[in-house]
Amino acid sequence: MAETARPVASLSGVPVPPATDHPGALLRGRGEVLPERDLLDRARRGEPEAFRVIFDRHAPSVRRFLGDLLRDDAAADEATQETFVRAHARMRTLREDERLGGWLLGIARMVSMEQLRRWRRDPLPLPDDELREPDRAPSPEAALLSGEADRLLDGALRVLSAERRSALLMRIDHGLPYEQIAEAMGWNLQKVKNEIHRARLQLRERLSAYVEGEAS
Amino acid sequence: MSGHPTFEELEAAALGEEPLPEVVAHAGQCAECARELAWLRAEAQLVRRRPHPALRPEIWRAVEERVHAPVPISRARRWRPVLAATAAMAAAAALAVVVRPPVRTPGVGQGDAGGSEEIATEADPKARQALDRAAGDYRSALGVLEQEYQTARGRLDSRTQKRWDESFARARSIVDASAQARNDPEERVRLLDGSAVMVRSLRHALEDSEEVAR
């Protein structure tokens, strides 16, 4: 995906050393997969390598989620950073029965909402007729593979409100159960179901021709 | 399966979440459910097959730098009065014990069965001085917190600004009231307790507010 001109203030640009050189390798080596509960216990005790493993496991989906909400690569990178800094500070507040993935997406959603609010307050100086969608163009390979479908889907997702899009993607893209989405969104279960249902209807309206063609 | 599966059951099957065999079997015989399942599957496939954005390694580097960064000295210094006021909270709580129990003196209705009693509280000069000190500490702490908030106020939206402004106004009114209640130690302790709660809440809210901390 293309980069935008928006700066990422605090990114140092220094490449991360190979996996075996940093402490996270202690937990990730030998193909070991640490159960989430143990990982959380270790992270809560302040073990930096445990937090690194959490980052490695969850950052890709957090980054993808934020890219979908903010639709700007640099802002999504910065928001991913912010999400994990907040998660680190609040690790002790995570309840035993709460799932890490949903909890992180909940934080990410809050971070993205703050960013969207800032943009509403201080919009970028873009020409009136230009949408702020500078970096959603798929790579040429992706365009060859699924150009029309992606374009339709992208347009369909774009018209959803940020909240509705969050809920829908938490369910379809990230596989969160409704209860976790309710927790992450701060909604009741019925509202989650209603919003996702409405989001689906909007999506179907735009995708019907393509999906029915594929399904038949 | 007697009736149609629920939407959640069809969705779980479409998203690959342990589909019930009977749901899949039903969809094999029911055109309506088969169509719904096909829709849900296509929709999920379309959403999930989008390209995954690359995770830039600089993100972890920046997170690591930030989570391990010490609190800047200047901020720690600026917040010293707030920490002092936190200590004053303990002092105020201790004073509440020193000042109590109140001394009961006969009032207007003396001699009446169940008559009223005027409750006076012992005004120990040491306790009064300590309460003055605590009130002063809360005032300075509030000043520091408000200064901190003012530096970030412009970055907040109007609704958030309003909420913070109201909280500070309320905290100021409680601190002011505690200064004015010098002749009523009981009331003063109560107001100082309130000041303590306000200062503590505002401090935590400021510490937790990333927009303010930026």
* pLDDT score, position B147: 82
- B127: pLDDT strictly greater than 60: yes
Contacts of A149 in chain B (CB under 8 A): 46
- pTM, rounded to two decimals: 0.57
* pLDDT score, position A141: 37
Average pLDDT, chain B: 74
Chain A residue at shortest CA distance from B57: A16
Among B8, B36, B64, the residue to mutate for chain A (most A Cβ within 10 A) = B64
Residue A161: CB atoms within 10 A of its CB come to 12
Domain boundaries, chain B: 7-48, 72-213
Closest CB to A86: pick one of B53, B65, B210: B210
Range B7-16 average pLDDT: 89
Percent of chain B with pLDDT over 90: 5
Cross-chain Cβ contact A146/B65 below 8 Å: no
| A49 neighbors A63 (Cβ within 8 angstroms) | no
Contacts of B155 (CB under 8 A, 6+ apart): A118, B211, B212, B214
Of residues A211 and B29, the one with the higher pLDDT is B29
Range B105-110 average pLDDT: 45
- A153: pLDDT strictly greater than 90: no
**Lowest mean pLDDT segment, chosen from A96-110, B24-38, B66-80:** B66-80
φ, ψ for residue B118 (rounded to 5)? Answer: -85, 125
Cross-chain Cβ contact B62/A81 below 8 Å: yes
Average pLDDT, chain A: 76
Q: How confident is the model at residue B128 (pLDDT cuts 50, 70, 90)?
A: confident
Of residues B106 and A104, the one with the higher pLDDT is A104
Q: How confident is the model at residue A44 (pLDDT cuts 50, 70, 90)?
A: confident
Exposed e or buried b per residue across A67-101, where buried means at least 16 C-beta atoms within 10 angstroms of its C-beta: bbbbbbbbbbbbbbbbbbbbbbeebeebeeeebbb
Chain B residue at shortest CA distance from A90: B208
Query: pLDDT tens digits for B158-178?
Result: 777 787 888 888 888 888 888
- A112: pLDDT strictly greater than 90: yes
**Lowest mean pLDDT segment, chosen from A163-177, A192-206, B116-130:** B116-130
Query: pLDDT tens digits for A2-35?
Result: 333 333 222 222 223 333 334 344 444 445 567 8
* pLDDT score, position B210: 56
List the domains of chain A with CATH numbers: 22-129 (1.10.1740.10), 139-216 (1.10.10.10)
What distance in Å separates the CA atoms of residue A195 and residue A182, rounded to the nearest whole number? 11
- B115: pLDDT strictly greater than 80: no
Range B98-107 average pLDDT: 49
Cross-chain Cβ contact A10/B157 below 8 Å: no
State the complex-level ipTM: 0.72
For residue A178 the two structure tokens come to 């409704």
